[in-house]
Amino acid sequence: MTSIVFNSVTVTRPLPRSGLQSGDDTGLIDLSPQPNLARRKSARARWHRVMLRATMPLVILLIWQLASTFGLVTPEVLPSPSDIGSAFAELVRLGDLQAALPVSLGRALTGLAIGGTTGLAIGLFAGLWRIGEGLFDAPLQMLRTIPFIALVPLFITWFGIGELAKLMVIIAATIFPMYLNTYAGVRGVDPKLIEAASIFGLSHRHTAWHVILPTALPSILVGLRYASGAALLALVVAEQINASSGIGYILNNANMNQRSDIIIAGILVYAALGIAIDLLMRMVEHLALPWRAKLVLA
Amino acid sequence: MAVSRRRLMTLAGAAALAAPYVRADERKVRLIVGTQDIALQETVNASKVLDGSPFDLQWATLPGPAAQLSGLYSKAIDVGLMGDTSLIIEQGRARTDWTGSNQPLQIVAGWRNLDRAYPPIITAVRTAANINTLADLRGKTWAFNFGGFNYLQYVLTRIKAGLKVSDIVPVQLVDTNAAAAAFNSGRADVFSGGPGPIIEALNKGTARILIISDDLDIPSLGVFTARADVLRDDAKSQALADFLNRVRLHWTWYANNLGAVERILVEKLKQTPDKAKYYAASGASVFRPLDDDLMRHEQRIADVLFESKDINKKIDVNIEFSRRFNQATVQAS
């Protein structure tokens, strides 16, 4: 009997006794991967990847804690990880974080839904029609450079001190990434594809629906990812306007009261939300773009 | 769920009975008062002075004087909270000259802690910077923020020290917290602003107070500013007088309940216990009458700001103060 190891597949080939007759009854060779070995190898690889990702943050945390413990970094400059952990626990114990998350996420998602849809609609209009480009592109390119934090007093004047003003800040922050990426995606469609659609006799509507939109979708989804991040960032500004709850409010309040431990705890909450939203967007991307290659070099 | 005729009749009857009360409630005057953080509203609520008030009070938190002024001009709020110099700057920079009949805003009440141990505004120096006299400020890095009486403290300290802007290294930041952060981290040698944000450095001895606002004749009052149309509206004006009277009663409660105030500051504002102790004690205030003596101080400030070119016209501060609420604010002060 000979054993050949080929690309993690062990092929066991009994020595033929006569003609094509192999050692077993069927005479077939099992070339399928051995499930247990493959699963073990895959789990080990995943564990390695997790460890690799976790090592550097853990080392940084350790150095940071040691620097704080030995007084190399004062709490005024940078609170220690344990202080930040206590601040986080304080927010949870008093129920502030639990109260803030639904309020802030509600605001962010509503603003994202309105701003994202508006940006998408304008982006498609400007991308597909010249009149749309003429009407919207130049004004939006000008407006997108305005720092929306500077607009707070104006937003109070225009939209009052209720939820509308807060939503408008988030909408203003989310329109532009969505618009820019949609517009770029639509305009970036390979002309040869449009030419092919024309040769096959597709109408403008069908070309837009079957060729341009699917081709622009990756760029549109990148816009959605940027816009969802912008919606979270805008909360800090929006929740300066007569807010009594929300993550932005917690950060602003901590800033006014010089609680840098709470500020960093709040930033970590933002980071967690950012990761959660990114995972969600990757899932959406995976579902919306099943044909897309998942190519990594190493 | 089936809706029976009997249930409908009961609901209609209940609605009819409740209607007069709902209408009566709708007739209540609504007063929207702006604050820059939730401290005042929390202590006022805790003092229960608003119980049974004949007006409907709504608080609005808008950090910073710019947001308060925007809220007032847009009529989103009726009364705003700011420092007493904010209207000097507003009047001094207004496109149309304010007169006794067209001023859009007026200060209706001002308060502060009268204890010299708790100065509202200070100029502090880092101990390591070796600054012992005002003259030693020359060449030092000085952190302060835009506008308001913190800025005034910086201007008047510098003038008193006989220094020009070019004699120091000014670090003008967006708000007092940013200026304090620069000072606390040792990036600036001098700080002008409220002592709260640097209290830990003062307590530890890494910083010390060089001069306080009282020594520079700065009234440094927290003030309520009302829109002119609110003051013209009899019902709102009456509600405002009632509100100010209740806030005055609240100051009495505040002084007698510093422990409760500290707890509010820790739980609601997330201050550290040490800071809460300081802020609670320093926040114990009384209303100051808006009288001739105060006007003299305010006028001097306006003149200094005009000379330092921070406002571009000479103004009369009297027109930005309304003295008609003195009776409500000063009775027991």
Question: Tell me, what's the pLDDT at B78?
Answer: 97
Q: Mean pLDDT for chain A? A: 84
The continuous run of DSSP H or E covering A10 comes out as strand A9-13
By the CB < 8 Å criterion, does A56 face chain B? Answer: no
Interchain contact, B270 vs A257, CB within 8 Å: yes
Interchain contact, B177 vs A240, CB within 8 Å: no
Minimum-distance CB partner of A157 among B37, B70, B177: B70
Interchain contact, B71 vs A156, CB within 8 Å: yes
Of the three residues B173, B191, B216, the one that is the final residue of a domain is B216
Of the three residues B198, B216, B234, the one that is the final residue of a domain is B216
Question: Tell me, what's the pLDDT at A222?
Answer: 93
Shortest Cα distance from A242 to chain B (angstroms)?
4
Question: Tell me, what's the pLDDT at B19?
Answer: 45
Question: Tell me, what's the pLDDT at A143?
Answer: 87
Q: Are residues B205 and B241 in the same domain?
A: no
Of the three residues B165, B181, B216, the one that is the final residue of a domain is B216
Whether residue B309 is contained in a domain is answered as yes
b/e code A116-145 from CB counts within 10 Å (16+ = b): beebbbbbbbbbbeeebeeebbeebeeeee
| Count of domains observed in chain B | 2
Whether residue B81 is contained in a domain is answered as yes
Whether residue B239 is contained in a domain is answered as yes
Instruction: Give B74's contacts in chain A (Cβ within 8 Å).
Output: 156-158, 160
Whether residue B14 is contained in a domain is answered as no
Residue range A238-245: average pLDDT? 87
Q: What pLDDT, in 10s, does the model give residues B221-232?
A: 999 999 999 999
Count interface pairs A-B at CB distance under 8 A. Answer: 68
Question: Tell me, what's the pLDDT at A35?
Answer: 67
Interchain contact, B74 vs A258, CB within 8 Å: no
Question: How many Cα atoms are found within 13 Å in the side-chain-facing hemisphere of B206?
Answer: 13
Rounded percentage of chain A residues whose pLDDT exceeds 70: 86
Interchain contact, A153 vs B67, CB within 8 Å: yes
Could you say which residues from 85 to 144 on chain B have a Cβ atom under 8 Å away from some Cβ of chain A?
A: none
Instruction: Give B66's contacts in chain A (Cβ within 8 Å).
Output: 153
Shortest Cα distance from B75 to chain A (angstroms)?
8
Question: Tell me, what's the pLDDT at B233?
Answer: 96
More confident residue, A152 or A168: A168
Q: Are residues B235 and B313 in the same domain?
A: yes
Whether residue B11 is contained in a domain is answered as no
By the CB < 8 Å criterion, does A93 face chain B? Answer: no
Q: Are B82 and B289 in contact (CB under 8 A)?
A: no
Give CA A131 to chain center in angstroms: 32
Tell me how far apart the alpha carbons of residues A218 and B254 are, in angstroms, rounded to a whole number. Answer: 60
Tell me how far apart the alpha carbons of residues B192 and B177 are, in angstroms, rounded to a whole number. Answer: 11
Listed as ranges, residues in chain B with pLDDT below 50 are 1-3, 8-11, 13-24, 332-333
Q: Are residues B105 and B230 in the same domain?
A: yes
Q: What pLDDT, in 10s, does the model give residues A201-220?
A: 999 889 989 999 999 999 99
Within B147-283, residue ranges assigned H as helices are 148-160, 176-184, 199-204, 228-232, 234-256, 258-267, 273-282
Minimum-distance CB partner of B177 among A90, A250, A258: A258
Could you say which residues from 246 to 275 on chain A have a Cβ atom under 8 Å away from some Cβ of chain B?
A: 250, 252-259, 262
Tell me how far apart the alpha carbons of residues A176 and A169 are, in angstroms, rounded to a whole number. Answer: 12
Interface confidence, given as ipTM, is: 0.70
Q: What pLDDT, in 10s, does the model give residues A11-69?
A: 444 544 444 444 456 666 766 666 677 777 788 888 888 888 888 888 998 999 999 89
Q: Are residues B227 and B212 in the same domain?
A: no
Which residue type does B246 have?
R
Q: Are residues B189 and B249 in the same domain?
A: no
Instruction: Give B177's contacts in chain A (Cβ within 8 Å).
Output: 255-256, 258
CA A100 to each of CA A11, A235, A260, A279, B221: distance values in angstroms, whole numbers, following the listed order: 59, 11, 18, 22, 33
Q: Which long-range contacts (CB under 8 A, 24 or more apart) does A158-161 make?
A: A158/B74, A160/B74, A160/B76, A161/A241, A161/A242, A161/B60, A161/B62, A161/B71, A161/B76, A161/B77
Minimum-distance CB partner of B76 among A77, A161, A240: A161
By the CB < 8 Å criterion, does A241 face chain B? Answer: yes
Sequence-ordered strand ranges (E) for chain B: 30-35, 56-61, 79-83, 105-112, 122-126, 141-145, 169-173, 190-193, 207-212, 222-227, 286-288
Q: What pLDDT, in 10s, does the model give residues A63-90?
A: 999 998 988 888 777 899 999 999 999 8
Whether residue B2 is contained in a domain is answered as no
Interchain contact, B275 vs A258, CB within 8 Å: yes
Interchain contact, B70 vs A240, CB within 8 Å: no
Tokens of B285: 């205030």
Q: What is the domain range of residue B203?
A: 122-216
Shortest Cα distance from B63 to chain A (angstroms)?
7
Shortest Cα distance from A50 to chain B (angstroms)?
36
Question: Tell me, what's the pLDDT at B52?
Answer: 92
Q: Are residues B105 and B205 in the same domain?
A: no
Instruction: Give B180's contacts in chain A (Cβ within 8 Å).
Output: 258
Instruction: Give A252's contacts in chain B (Cβ within 8 Å).
Output: 63
Q: Are residues B230 and B323 in the same domain?
A: yes
**CATH assignment at residue B178:** 3.40.190.10
Shortest Cα distance from A253 to chain B (angstroms)?
7
Q: Are residues B104 and B250 in the same domain?
A: yes
Shortest Cα distance from A216 to chain B (angstroms)?
41
Whether residue B13 is contained in a domain is answered as no
Whether residue B136 is contained in a domain is answered as yes
Q: Are A211 and A205 in contact (CB under 8 A)?
A: no
Question: Tell me, what's the pLDDT at A106?
Answer: 94
Domains of chain A: 2-14+34-73 (no CATH), 84-288 (1.10.3720.10)
Mutate to test the interface with B, among A97, A152, A241, A257 (most CBs of B within 10 A): A257
Instruction: Give B76's contacts in chain A (Cβ within 8 Å).
Output: 156-157, 160-161
